[in-house]
């Protein structure tokens, strides 16, 4: 991706006039290649050369903004094919599809579902971000649905429509919200570009197969338009999968920017009314390179795994997820419940809280700031020690919430028992099991002991 | 310029491992590409989908499943046969929950009897999963391996703690296959393979279990571990990472809150069975698309859905 000094030199006027402060154009070019000077320091570069240079130094996959304000998201912009190489930057987004052929009832139900499946998980919003509104045959109904959704939901619009007259009217309603316009094809692409270019709206391209899609991108780019999203949909699941993978690979591995755009997949179409198939496909395309995944509808059964999977896959591998340091009641903990302490690494928290829930024993979970690592790593890094745990217990206010003075620590850091007891003389420190899976039995025994 | 397919040739290939015997034997692995990347080359044998049963009554399972199995769940052999006839999975995974020292603590002899009765009752290959208590698993597997001699079963799993006992009993004394379980780290996976090799277990008799997680529960570590294992094989031909991978998905996905929480407690979440299936389907589809060659599932609907997915992608 990085341009060599000689490549840049070829684009300079080769006048050696020194206006840039360097003795020769070549010397200047070498510095630009190193990133030491801006190309703008040469006042004599032609527009054509500048355009070529911009093209050559642009990211392999373009970042496309969709939506506005609170509902603005970025898609694409990825630089690697595998998350351990660096990190995936822009998570895929989920859409629910509406069409003008749907009855009011169905539309209202979907709107309600989108509203009700919204929650927070480890500090991130879990929800449907996009309303995919497809034009089939009735323009008035189509416009009504757009109005209705605009009134009722905070989402990004994706207008699926190949009829430019209808689209023109639809855009009057929502063009200020930076909607996606999906439906530029071999026949209509010039008109479509004209419709979206003033507002720089993201334009979705649709073609039969990768060859045609590729040549369509070339044509649209030829018109100077580059705010694109690629329709990866094929005739079958297999073809769609191939398309998605090939689009991403062509951009990042072959370094061909023609396919350096986000892609959209209509998982609902491929799953033929089988909701679990839709979950399977949406998972597949979350792991492998989909940018927008369109669903038929949303409910918690679908949303819980899909949003959680996406959150995992798009986590920065260099920075683990953490939970907020705090005191958390589990199973209706009250003034008699014991306290369990563990680290703030989200995975540890989830596993431990899950096992406590399984035990059905009411407990308080105390989560100090431990740097977001596992128990042993935090301990080794000095972030999960006797005094930091002691201080947290004193400052967290847990001593007012429960009369129990039993503090359970992870078995892996049994060595901390003495230190913690020194800093918390009122407390009895109990060493818990090594593995979270043994917590239910441990807690039940602890509870029986308390009653005995 | 015209579009040209981006094709990547692999330097290494996943080993083919057979489970079961006779006409009903199955092959796991054999691919020289990432899953379903047939534009790159040989995708090997189709991903294998197994179904989980227990050696004890499935008290914790969702009601509809207990209902499905109500006439057979007291007898693992009948249960296995029922699953084979009704749902036709590629293999059956019998999980010896009753052997857990924190539970019923059944003896190795009892377990051996149960496993034998199951192996005799079915035609499909049998995968035998232990309790996760390394010491107990070793003792149990030593007896079970003898009892199911000739059935070419897969034992889940040998770990760093018990690989000597499990490896020796399962694969060397009785020519079964050994699952090598490591915890979500390419180097640990490699190390265990090497240790098993040094012990005398043939690399062709090992199936890796490189970790297990439900979607949302540190699943990204599993994704990256498998990504790295497969790239080490395909790009560098790492001979210590040629084994196929099995992931007992159902062991994890049915214990997380999303699948466990009763409807009374989280009314807005809706039907518990649906949530459980969805967690299982999502996790299994994801792990198969990263690189697992076989998964264990619990719900017939999950099996049906994944079968359809795998058929569509192969
Ligand atoms: S200002 Fe431009 S043309 Fe003049 S020497 Fe520098 S690079 Fe060359």
- Residue A161 contacts by C-beta under 8 Å, 6 or more apart in sequence? A134, A135, A142, A167, A170, A181, A182, A183
Examine the predicted complex and report whether its ipTM is higher than 0.95.
yes
Gap from CA of A47 to ligand 1 centroid (Å):
15
**If you search the block for the tokens 């079961």, which residue do you land on?**
B20
Q: How many alpha carbons lie under 13 Å from residue A364 in its C-beta half-sphere?
A: 25
Q: Is residue B47 part of a domain?
A: yes
Query: How buried is residue A183: exposed, middle or buried, by Cβ count under 10 Å (0-12/13-18/19+)?
Result: buried
For the cut 70, the answer to whether the pLDDT of residue B284 exceeds it is: yes
Contacts of A315 in chain B (CB under 8 A): 220
Q: pLDDT above 90 covers what percent of chain B?
A: 90
For the cut 80, the answer to whether the pLDDT of residue B160 exceeds it is: yes
Size of interface A-B (CB pairs under 8 A): 170
- Residue A436 contacts by C-beta under 8 Å, 6 or more apart in sequence? A348, A351, A352, A354, A355
The answer to whether B177 touches B207, Cβ cutoff 8 Å, is yes
Alpha carbon B85 to its chain's center: 20
**Beta strands A363-367 and A326-330, pairing class:** antiparallel
Q: How many alpha carbons lie under 13 Å from residue A222 in its C-beta half-sphere?
A: 9
When the pLDDT of each residue in chain B is averaged and rounded to a whole number, the result is 95
CA atoms of B65 and B300, how far apart (whole Å): 9
Q: What is the CATH number of the domain that holds B231?
A: 3.20.20.20
Write down the domain spans for chain A: 5-57, 63-313, 326-451
CA atoms of A375 and A349, how far apart (whole Å): 10
Among A148, A151, A132, residue whose Cα is nearest residue A140: A148
The answer to whether B57 touches B67, Cβ cutoff 8 Å, is no
- What secondary structure does DSSP assign to A410-441, as a single string? -GGGGGGHHHHHHH-TTPEEEE--SSGGGHHH
Q: If you ran DSSP here, which 8-state letter would residue A71 be given?
A: G
3-state helix, strand, coil in chain A (%, to 5): 45, 15, 35
Does residue A451 or residue B56 have the better pLDDT?
B56
Task: Tokens for A63, please give them.
Answer: 């970042």
Task: Please indicate whether, in this complex, the C-beta atoms of A347 and B218 are within 8 angstroms of each other.
Answer: yes
Residue nearest atom 7 in ligand 1 by C-alpha distance? A25
Helix, strand or coil for residue A33? helix
Q: How many C-beta atoms surround the C-beta of residue A412 within 10 A?
A: 17
Q: Is residue B68 part of a domain?
A: yes
pLDDT one-digit tens code per residue, B192-239: 999 999 999 999 999 999 999 999 998 999 999 999 999 999 999 999
Helix, strand or coil for residue A131? strand
pTM of the predicted model as reported, rounded to 2 decimal places: 0.89
Closest-lying ligand 1 atom to the alpha carbon of residue A15:
3
B-interface mutation test, from A279, A297, A375, most B Cβ less than 10 A away: A279
Q: How many C-beta atoms surround the C-beta of residue B71 within 10 A?
A: 10
The answer to whether B147 touches B107, Cβ cutoff 8 Å, is no
Residue nearest atom 8 in ligand 1 by C-alpha distance? A25
Under-50 pLDDT residues of chain A: 1
Helix, strand or coil for residue B179? strand
CATH class held by domain A5-57: mainly alpha
**Beta strands B206-209 and A130-134, pairing class:** unpaired
Order of strands, sheet of B177-181, starting from the edge strand that comes earlier in the sequence: B206-209, B177-181, B154-158, B126-129, B91-95, B48-54, B294-297, B246-247
The answer to whether B299 touches B275, Cβ cutoff 8 Å, is no
What per-residue confidence (pLDDT) applies to A1? Answer: 45
Among A185, A164, A159, A163, residue whose Cα is nearest residue A95: A159
Q: Which fold has domain A63-313?
A: TIM Barrel (3.20.20)
What per-residue confidence (pLDDT) applies to A2? Answer: 61
What per-residue confidence (pLDDT) applies to B299? Answer: 98
What per-residue confidence (pLDDT) applies to B294? Answer: 98
Query: How buried is residue B38: exposed, middle or buried, by Cβ count under 10 Å (0-12/13-18/19+)?
Result: middle
- Residue B164 contacts by C-beta under 8 Å, 6 or more apart in sequence? B199
Task: Please indicate whether, in this complex, the C-beta atoms of B270 and A302 are within 8 angstroms of each other.
Answer: no
CA atoms of A412 and A144, how far apart (whole Å): 61
User: What is the span of the domain harbouring residue B285?
Assistant: 16-313
Task: Tokens for B286, please give them.
Answer: 């994801």
First to last CA, chain B: 30
What per-residue confidence (pLDDT) applies to B282? Answer: 98
**If you search the block for the tokens 């069409």, which residue do you land on?**
A99
A44 pocket-lining for ligand 1 (C-beta < 6 Å): yes
Please name the residues between 21 and 40 in chain B that touch chain A, using a CB distance below 8 Å.
Answer: 36-39
- Residue A236 contacts by C-beta under 8 Å, 6 or more apart in sequence? A270, B312
Q: How many C-beta atoms surround the C-beta of residue A369 within 10 A?
A: 16
Task: Tokens for A115, please give them.
Answer: 């509203």
Residues in chain A: 452
Consecutive H or E run containing A93? strand A93-99
Q: If you ran DSSP here, which 8-state letter would residue A58 be given?
A: S
CA atoms of A263 and A97, how far apart (whole Å): 16
Task: Tokens for A317, please give them.
Answer: 């591998």
Q: Which fold has domain A326-451?
A: Rossmann fold (3.40.50)
- Rounded to 10 deg, the angle between the B300-313 and A237-252 helix axes is 60
Cis peptide bond prior to A352, omega within 30° of 0: no
Q: Is residue B6 part of a domain?
A: no
The phi, psi pair for A75, rounded to 5°, reads: -120, 155
Cβ–Cβ contact B283 with A under 8 A: yes
Task: Please indicate whether, in this complex, the C-beta atoms of B39 and A242 are within 8 angstroms of each other.
Answer: yes
Q: Is residue B3 part of a domain?
A: no
Mutation pick for ligand 1 pocket among A9, A11, A15 (CB with most ligand atoms within 8 Å): A15
The answer to whether A247 touches A289, Cβ cutoff 8 Å, is yes
CA atoms of A405 and A408, how far apart (whole Å): 10
The answer to whether A387 touches A394, Cβ cutoff 8 Å, is no
For the cut 90, the answer to whether the pLDDT of residue B71 exceeds it is: yes
The answer to whether A343 touches A317, Cβ cutoff 8 Å, is no
Query: What is the tally of structural domains in chain B?
Result: 1
**Beta strands A406-409 and A130-134, pairing class:** unpaired
């Amino acid at each position: 991706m990085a341009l060599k000094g000689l490549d840049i030199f070829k684009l300079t006027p080769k006048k050696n006039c020194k206006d840039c402060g360097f003795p020769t154009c070549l010397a200047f070019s070498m510095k630009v290649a190193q990133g030491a000077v801006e190309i703008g320091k040469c006042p004599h570069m032609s527009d054509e050369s500048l355009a070529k240079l911009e093209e050559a130094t642009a990211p392999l996959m373009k970042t496309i903004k969709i939506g506005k304000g609170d509902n603005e998201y970025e898609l694409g912009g990825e630089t690697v094919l595998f998350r351990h190489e660096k990190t995936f930057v822009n998570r895929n987004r989920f859409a629910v599809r509406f069409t003008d052929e749907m009855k009011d009832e169905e539309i209202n139900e979907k709107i309600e579902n989108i509203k009700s499946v919204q929650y927070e998980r480890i500090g991130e919003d879990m929800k449907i971000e996009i309303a995919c509104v497809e034009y089939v045959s009735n323009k008035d109904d189509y416009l009504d649905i757009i109005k209705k959704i605009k009134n009722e939901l905070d989402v990004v619009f994706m207008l699926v429509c190949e009829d430019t007259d209808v689209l023109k009217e639809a855009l009057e309603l929502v063009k200020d919200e930076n909607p996606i316009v999906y439906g530029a094809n071999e026949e209509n692409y010039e008109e479509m570009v004209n419709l979206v270019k003033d507002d720089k709206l993201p334009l979705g391209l649709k073609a039969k197969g990768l060859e045609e899609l590729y040549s369509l991108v070339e044509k649209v780019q030829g018109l100077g338009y580059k705010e694109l999203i690629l329709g990866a949909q094929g005739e079958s699941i297999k073809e769609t999968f191939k398309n998605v993978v090939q689009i991403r690979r062509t951009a990042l591995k072959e370094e061909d920017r023609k396919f350096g755009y986000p892609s959209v997949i209509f998982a609902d179409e491929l799953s033929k009314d089988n909701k679990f198939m839709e979950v399977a496909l949406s998972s597949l395309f979350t792991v492998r390179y989909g940018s927008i995944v369109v669903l038929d509808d949303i409910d918690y059964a679908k949303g819980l795994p899909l949003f959680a999977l996406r959150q995992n896959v798009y986590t920065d591998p260099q920075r683990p997820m953490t939970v907020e340091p705090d005191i958390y009641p589990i199973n209706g903990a009250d003034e008699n419940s014991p306290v369990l302490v563990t680290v703030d690494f989200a995975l540890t928290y989830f596993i431990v809280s899950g096992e406590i829930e399984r035990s059905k024993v009411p407990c308080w979970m105390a989560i100090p700031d431990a740097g977001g690592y596992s128990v042993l790593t935090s301990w080794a890094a000095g972030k999960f020690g006797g005094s930091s745990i002691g201080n947290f217990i004193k400052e967290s206010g847990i001593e007012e919430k429960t009369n129990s003075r039993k503090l359970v620590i992870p078995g892996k850091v049994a060595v901390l028992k003495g230190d913690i007891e020194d800093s918390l003389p009122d407390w009895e420190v109990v060493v818990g099991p090594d593995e979270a899976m043994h917590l239910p039995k441990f807690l039940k025994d602890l509870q029986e002991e308390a009653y005995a | 310029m015209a579009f040209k397919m981006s094709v990547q040739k692999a330097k290494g290939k996943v080993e083919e491992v057979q489970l079961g015997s006779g006409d009903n034997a199955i092959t796991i692995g054999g691919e020289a590409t990432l899953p379903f990347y047939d534009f790159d080359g040989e995708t090997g044998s189709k991903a294998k989908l197994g179904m989980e049963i227990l050696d004890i009554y499935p008290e914790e399972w969702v009601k509809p499943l207990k209902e499905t199995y109500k006439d057979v769940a007291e007898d693992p052999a009948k249960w296995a046969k029922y699953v084979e006839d009704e749902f036709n999975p590629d293999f059956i995974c019998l999980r010896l929950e009753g052997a857990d020292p924190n539970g019923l603590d059944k003896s190795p002899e009892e377990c051996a009897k149960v496993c034998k009765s199951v192996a005799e009752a079915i035609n499909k290959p049998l995968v035998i999963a232990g309790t996760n208590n390394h010491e107990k698993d070793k003792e149990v597997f030593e007896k079970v391996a003898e009892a199911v001699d000739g059935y070419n079963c897969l034992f889940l799993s040998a770990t760093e703690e018990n690989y000597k006992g499990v490896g020796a009993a399962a694969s060397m004394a009785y020519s079964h296959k050994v699952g090598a379980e490591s915890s979500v780290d390419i180097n640990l996976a490699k190390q265990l393979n090497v240790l098993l090799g040094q012990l005398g277990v043939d690399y062709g008799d090992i199936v890796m279990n490189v970790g297990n997680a439900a979607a949302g529960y540190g699943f990204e570590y599993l994704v990256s571990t498998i990504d790295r294992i497969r790239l080490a094989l395909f790009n560098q031909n790492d001979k210590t990472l040629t084994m196929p991978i099995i992931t007992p998905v159902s062991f994890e996905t049915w214990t997380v809150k999303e699948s466990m929480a009763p409807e009374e407690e989280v009314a807005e979440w809706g039907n518990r069975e649906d949530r459980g299936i969805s967690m299982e389907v999502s996790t299994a589809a994801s792990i198969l698309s990263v690189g697992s060659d076989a998964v264990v599932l619990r719900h017939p609907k999950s099996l049906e859905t994944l079968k359809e997915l795998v058929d569509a992608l192969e």
